[in-house]
Amino acid sequence: MHGETSLSSEREARAKFADKIRSAGAQAREVGEQLFSFSALLDQTAPVERSMTDPSRPAADKIRIVDDLFVGSNAAPLTVEILKDLAARRWSRVDHISNAVEDLGIDCILSAADAADVTGTVALELSQIHSAILNLPVVRQRLSDTRASSEARVKFFHELFDDQNLNDLTVVLAEHATRELRQRRFASTIQWLVTKVSDHMGESVVTVTSAVALTDAQVKRIVDIYTRKLNHPVHVNQVIDSQVMGGMRIQAGSEVTDNTVIAQLQNLKRMVK
C-alpha cells in the first residue's frame, strides 16, 4: 500500500480494533473470512469501492453504504463495525480500502490462531506449501490462473494438499491466496503471508533454501545464531529447492549467505572466465 493517508488510516484502524479482535478468540476466524469476502466484493465491484472512498461524500453517507450492503445478512457485528470504521476514513487511492480490509482479515485469522495456540504451526505449514510448489511451474500457474474460476483454483489446491492434514487456519489463508488473487501470484502471496505471520509473532523471517528439509537440530542452530545476531526472535522459513544440489542459502533481510553447491559452481565458473 502506498500513500500516507491510506497508511495512516489502515494503521489507526488496525490499532483501534486490535483488542476487540484479540478478545474475539476463536470467533475471529468468522470475522476474518467475512472480511476476505468483502475485500473480494470491493475488488469486483468498482462502483461500491469508489462510493466508499469518495472524499467528497460525508462519512455518514459512506457508513450507510455498509448498512445497506448488510441488511438482512448474518454478518458478525464486529465485521460490520470494522467496515463502517474503514468507510468513514480517508484513502489515497480507491483500491487501498480493499487492501486494508484484507489486512484486517489476516489479523483476525492470526488472532484465531493465537487463541488455538497454532500460530507457529500455521507459519510452518505455509512455508511448507511454498516449498512444495517452488519447482513446479505448472502447479504454480494453475493456482494463479485468472482464466479459471476461483472455485476451480481452490479445488485444485485441495487436490494437492488435502492429504497433508493442514491446520484449518492454514487452509483458510491458503484458500484466500488462490481464491482472491488480487493481481498477485499464489506463491508470492504465500511468501507474503509467511512474513505477515512472523511479524504478528514479533519475529524476523530467516529464509533458508536447501536441497532437502532441514533437521530439527539445524533449524534450532539457525534460530539460535540469528536470534543472537539480530537481537530478537526469528522464524525459519524453509525453502526446499533441489536445484541448489547441496549446502544452504540463508537470507535475513537484505543479508544473504550463500553456501550452496550451485553458488560455488557459479563462482568457480566466473573465476575460470
Q: Kindly report the pTM of this predicted structure.
A: 0.84
Sheet holding 204-210, edge to edge: 234-240, 204-210, 248-252, 255-258
Number of H helices, E strands in the chain: 13, 4
Q: Is 183 left (phi over 0), alpha (psi -120 to 50) or beta?
A: left
> Is 272 a residue whose pLDDT tops 80?
no
- Segment 225-231 mean pLDDT: 89
More confident residue, 244 or 166: 166
> Confidence class of residue 251 from pLDDT cuts 50, 70 and 90?
confident
Q: Give the pLDDT confidence score for residue 263 in this predicted structure.
A: 64
Q: Which of 71-75, 183-187, 199-203, 262-266 has the highest mean pLDDT?
A: 183-187
Question: At residue 1, does pLDDT exceed 60?
Answer: no
- Spatial distance between the Cα atoms of 43 and 191, rounded to a whole number of angstroms: 22
- Whether 11 has a pLDDT exceeding 80, the answer reads yes
Categorize the per-residue pLDDT at 97 as very low, low, confident or very high, splitting at 50, 70 and 90: very high
* pLDDT score recorded for residue 134: 83
Return the closest-CA partner of residue 175 out of 200, 196, 156, 201.
156
Which pLDDT score is estimated for 244? Answer: 77
Residue 48: Cβ-neighbour burial (10 angstroms; 0-12, 13-18, 19+)? middle
Q: Is the pLDDT of residue 8 over 70?
A: yes
pLDDT at 190 over 80: yes
What percentage of the chain has pLDDT greater than the value 70? 95
Q: Are 21 and 111 in contact (CB under 8 A)?
A: yes
**Predicted confidence (pLDDT) at residue 267 exceeds the cutoff of 80:** no
pLDDT band for 271, please (50, 70, 90 cuts). Answer: low
Strands 234-240 and 255-258: unpaired
Tell me, what amino acid is at 120?
G
Provide mean pLDDT across the span 114-131. 92
What percentage of the chain has pLDDT greater than the value 90? 69
Q: What cell does 232 get?
A: 530478537
Residue entry with cell 487452509: 171
CA 169/CA 167 separation, integer angstroms: 5
Q: In Å, what is the CA distance from 95 to each residue of 4, 19, 50, 251, 260?
A: 14, 26, 8, 32, 41
The grid coordinates listed for 144 are 494463479
Q: Which one is predicted more confidently, 104 or 255? A: 104
Tell me, which fold does domain 203-273 have in CATH? Glutaredoxin (3.40.30)
pLDDT of residue 65: 95
